[in-house]
Amino acid sequence: MKRISDILSERKEALKAVAVFLIFCFTLNFAYFKIAGEQIIPREITASLVALFLNLFGLNTEAVRDVVMMNGSPLISVIGECTGIFSIIVYCSVIFAYPTSLKKKAIGMIGIPILYGITLIRLVSTALVGAFIPSLLDFFHTYLWQVFLIVFVVLLFLVWRDKVVEAK
């Protein structure tokens, strides 16, 4: 039987990458919350953009601080988790932890606006479901989009790794 030290030694590089990933996740989360605090500005910007896109669909919406109102009634409230910051932090952490050049890591940062765009699509579609099919709102918000975001972050990382890092 192999000793634990031998098993750990064999997986040294993978364990190092996981440790660096966790350190980046913790550090970025800590820094973000230290800087953004209650995240008022990101929440209000996100709510304003969601209201703008919903208006393009013909809905009568407006953002009142971090709440998207439809016809004067609250439709959705944008909390800190709705800004996409957690998926962006996880994505950036895995990019920073991956063993490659700084130039390739910088290219990976193109994923940040992509993730924010997906966040806006998530919020707009969830608001549309809430406005027109409220019985499906919980499913869309709690399950469908949460799973999709996790899968999307992984796929975005894999595309970056395959097309940028491993490109021949």
Phi-psi region of 22 (alpha: psi -120 to 50; beta: other; left: phi over 0): alpha
Which is it for strands 73-77 and 67-70: parallel, antiparallel or unpaired? antiparallel
Mean pLDDT of all residues belonging to the chain: 91
Residue 129 contacts residue 136 (beta carbons within 8 Å):
yes
State the pLDDT confidence band at 167, using cuts at 50, 70 and 90: confident
CB burial class (10 A; 0-12, 13-18, 19+) of residue 47?
A: buried
* Residue 74: strand, helix, or coil: strand
pLDDT bracket for residue 1 (50, 70, 90)? low
Average pLDDT over residues 38-64: 94
Average pLDDT over residues 63-88: 92
d(CA 81, CA 129) in angstroms, rounded, equals 19
Asked if pLDDT for residue 132 goes beyond 80, the answer is yes
Give the mean pLDDT of 107-121: 96
pLDDT, mean of residues 142-168: 93
In this prediction, residue 149 carries a pLDDT of 93
- Give me the domain span that covers residue 124: 4-165
pLDDT at residue 10, rounded to an integer = 78
pLDDT above 70 as % of the chain? 99
More confident residue, 111 or 16: 111
Predicted local distance difference test score (pLDDT) of residue 76:
92
Number of domains in the chain: 1
